[in-house]
Structure 1
Amino acid sequence: MKTITELSRHKAPADLPQALAFDGSDLWIGSLDTKRIYQIDTSDWSVKSEVEVNGLPWGLVATGDSFRLIRGETEEDSRYVRSFSSGDAAVSDSGYMCPDDTGSQLSYDAKNLHVSQWYNQKVLALDSDGEVERAYDAPRGICGQTIVDSYIYLINTADEETNEYYIGRIDRCTGEYEELAEVPFQARALAFDGEAFLTNHRAAGETVRFKIA
């Protein structure tokens, strides 16, 4: 099986980069260490703004003129979907609990929010009230997802302590999964900037831009 082709690596704005989203112009990176989300100008990798999360930023996606975040709350790390806009200083408390109180990554298809469940190995398409409209099965635990055209691209692994990570895609019409390439590090999150994919090498504190070809 082929391996991804790295195009660039950049030091993340804070340790333990986890959540990741691209809004059409800027990259947004959430840190589990600082519990903040950073807006990055990718032309020079400078920080344009910061958003206080008031919890753990697990998953993030741009939804047009705003963002949706999976935030870990309370000592039990309960998972909730919350929102904020680019001009907000903090994440809103409005939203809903993730199905089964579990979820780690997000994607959006211009209609439905998609929440991934790592240990249940599923991607759930949700309606506006957070109810499940459709479930997709993944072959392993999901540690990153993004929607491109008619596919849900996934970074996944059977053992998060190893470097045996993979990227594949689910056909949103048929639900079938196709393996595409190996990812040779412990990746977290997945975004697409129109030309290439991005993920976090969390343990190294770096954000990686790559292609599958």
Structure 2
Amino acid sequence: MQTTQELNRRPSPATRPQPLAFREGLMWMGSWDTDRIYAIDPQSWSVHHEIAAPGRPYGIIPYGDDLVVVVAHGEEDDRYLYHCSPERGFDLGSKTPCPDLTGSFIAAQGSTIYLGQMHYRRILALKSDATVEREIALPTRCAGFGFGPGGRFYMISGDMELEHLSFGTLDIATDTPQFEGIRTLPDEARSLAYDGSQWWTCLRDLNEIASFTGNETPAL
């Protein structure tokens, strides 16, 4: 596995960035401090526009014509899925509880939504109505995941303290996949998004967003 290569780091437009996604050339980022999501032009690094979220944003994906956002509510930190129009904002009527009211990182392939539940160390494959199709056991703790080149599933793996992070692949076609590492990442890395040519992650506690490249073939 490769050691950490220099990341292309940029200051986050808002502090404590967590979820990342790409849609139609714009990067969407959610901030834990402002409870807003931001559309960022990755070339000029300017904020195109921003939208107030109904809670703390934990995960975000493009889904059809909308975004789907995992949002935390209240003292119990219950998690819900919301649809959000890039033009009109959050559809409060779309509020749907995550299974067991927990969930964070999120990805989609076709109509299937993949929701990470770190407390249970699993990923749930969900139908469009958020009902569970299947459960995928995680072999390690996870700091983010997403689909990349060739439709493969990539993940940030960590130890029990969510440190010593590694970027690599996970074969989610099986119910108990094994993680195959490619390169290390800083311990601050949270979330994972692919823009078609490179990967992005939030260095949340450093208030930075970073891009990096990764080999498509896992290390042997």
Question: CA separation in 1, counterparts of 2:139 and 2:4?
Answer: 19
Q: Larger deviation: 29-38 or 115-124?
A: 115-124
Partner of 1:32: 32
Compared with structure 1, are the counterparts of its residues 150 and 136 closer, same or farther at alpha carbon in structure 2 (3 Å cutoff)?
Answer: farther
Counterpart contact for 2:58–2:71, Cα < 8 Å: yes
Partner of 1:195: 197
Give the superposed CA RMSD: 1.7
Q: Larger deviation: 32-41 or 88-97?
A: 88-97
Spell out the pairing of 1:45-56 with structure 2 (5 A cutoff): 45-56=45-56
Partner of 1:79: 79
Q: Extract structure 1 runs of 4+ deviating beyond 3 A.
A: 4-7, 159-162
Deviations for 1:92-138, whole angstroms, at most 9, x for unmatched residues? 34131111211111100021011001122211110122111122222
Q: How many residues align?
A: 212
Spell out the pairing of 1:131-146 with structure 2 (5 A cutoff): 131-146=131-146
Question: CA separation in 2, counterparts of 1:168 and 1:125?
Answer: 20
Are residues 1:180 and 2:176 paired?
no
Q: Larger deviation: 22-31 or 149-158?
A: 149-158
Question: CA separation in 2, counterparts of 1:116 and 1:13?
Answer: 26
Compared with structure 1, are the counterparts of its residues 138 and 161 closer, same or farther at alpha carbon in structure 2 (3 Å cutoff)?
Answer: closer
Counterpart contact for 1:3–1:184, Cα < 8 Å: no
Partner of 1:19: 19
Counterpart contact for 1:67–1:84, Cα < 8 Å: yes
Q: Larger deviation: 31-40 or 99-108?
A: 99-108
Q: Tell me the TM-score normalized by structure 1.
A: 0.92
Are residues 1:207 and 2:213 paired?
no
Identity of aligned residues (%): 34
Partner of 1:128: 128
Partner of 1:99: 99
Counterpart contact for 2:143–2:162, Cα < 8 Å: no
In the TM superposition, residue 160 of structure 1 has moved relative to its aligned partner by 4.0
Q: Please, which runs of 5 or more residues in structure 1 have no aligned partner?
A: none
Partner of 1:169: 169
Compared with structure 1, are the counterparts of its residues 50 and 160 closer, same or farther at alpha carbon in structure 2 (3 Å cutoff)?
Answer: farther
1:116 counterpart SS class: strand
In the TM superposition, residue 182 of structure 1 has moved relative to its aligned partner by 1.5
1:5 counterpart SS class: coil
What is the identity, as a one-letter code, of the residue corresponding to 2:156? I
Counterpart contact for 1:60–1:70, Cα < 8 Å: yes
